Amino acid sequence: MLLGETFALRRRPFVKREKTLIPSDLGECGKADSTQISQSLHLFGRFLVSHIEMKTIEPDTVREHVRARYGNIAVNGGGCCGSVDGCCGSENSCDQRLGYSAVHVASVPEGSNLGLGCANPMAIASIRPGETILDLGSGAGFDCFLAARQLNGTGRVIGVDMTPAMIAKARNNIRKGRYTNVEFRLGEIEALPVADNFVDLVISNCVINLSPEKPRVFREAFRVLKAGGRLALADVVAIKPLPESIRTQSNAIGACIGGAALVDDLKTMLKDAGFIRIEIVPRDETRSLINQWTEDKIASDFVVSAFITAFKAA
C-alpha cells in the first residue's frame, strides 16, 4: 500500500434474489376476478423474463471462468487473450500487430509479456512525470513496466488483478526488474483496492470486456481518479449486437469476444459514471488478429479492438 493512502476494501453487495413463481392456476373460467387475473399475468410475465435472462451467464460464473483461465495462463503460458496455441505466427509478429516495438519488449523483465492485449494503451496515455497510474487487470505486469519506464523513476504505478497466480508472477517480475515505483494488488476491477481521488491515469488492455459488470468498473475508475484525471484504454468493442451463440459461451467471453459491449452502450456507461470528453476509436485493422483468438471465424464480423479515452472533470 502506498504511504498516505487509505481505503476500505469494497465487496460486491449481497443482493437477495426473489424466487421466480410460475402461476399454476389462472382461475376457473368466469370465476377469477380482475385482480387475480392481473396478479397471475404479472407473475407469468416475471417467469417469462426470468426464462429469457437464463440465456445469459451469471456474473460470478463469468468471473470464476476468467480467473481460472488466466490463472492457467500465468502458470503455463498463453497468448492473445488466452489462446494457448498462440495467435500471430510468432511473438514478435504479435507484439508488432498490437503496437509494441522490439524496444518495448526488450525493456521489461522476461515473462511479463504474455501477449494478452489487443493494442498498446501507452500510445494514447500521454504519461507525464510524477503521475500515479493504475492498470486494471495488470496480468504479469507488461504495461505497468512500460508505464514505469515512461515515468523514468518518478511517480507510481499500481496494477490490480483478480488472479493470485498473475499477482505472484508480476511481483516476481518487479524483483527481476528492480522496480521501486511499481506495486501489484490482488482485487477485482469492480471493487478496486485503491483510495478515492488517488490516481492521475487509469489504463487497461483488453480486460474490461471480460467484466460482467462494466458499469461498476467505470464507476470505480471514476472514483479513484483525481479531478482532471483520465482513462486510456485498449479494449475489444462490439460494432453490432453479438449473436447468442457467441454472447453466451464462456470460452468466447474468456477469449475477449463474448463480453464485448456495443460502442454506444460503452459511451452511455462512461457518461453515467460521470466521465466527459468520451472518445472510442474502433480499429478495423484488428479484425484478422481477432479471428485468431477463437475457432469461431465470424467473430471479427461483430468485434474489433478500440482505443477508449475519457476524462474526469477538473
pLDDT tens-digit map of 216-242? 999 999 999 999 999 999 999 999 999
pTM score: 0.81
Structure confidence at residue 78 as a pLDDT band (50, 70, 90): low
- Residues 46 and 21: beta-carbon distance below 8 Å: yes
Q: Is the pLDDT of residue 251 over 50?
A: yes
**Hey, CA dihedral for 120, 121, 126, 131, is it positive or negative?**
negative
pLDDT 10s digits, 171-188:
999 999 999 999 999 999
Q: Which of 149, 169, 145 is nearest to 158 (CA)?
A: 145
Q: Of 138, 196, 157, which is closest to residue 10 (Cα–Cα)?
A: 196
Evaluate whether 204 touches 135 at the Cβ level (below 8 Å). Answer: yes
The answer, yes or no, to whether residue 305 has pLDDT greater than 90, is yes
Homologous superfamily (CATH) of 59-311 is: Vaccinia Virus protein VP39 (3.40.50.150)
pLDDT of 284 > 90? The answer is no
Ordered by start, the domain boundaries in the chain are 59-311
Q: CB neighbours (10 Å) of residue 282?
A: 18
Q: Which residue has the higher pLDDT, 98 or 141?
A: 141
pLDDT at 296: 72
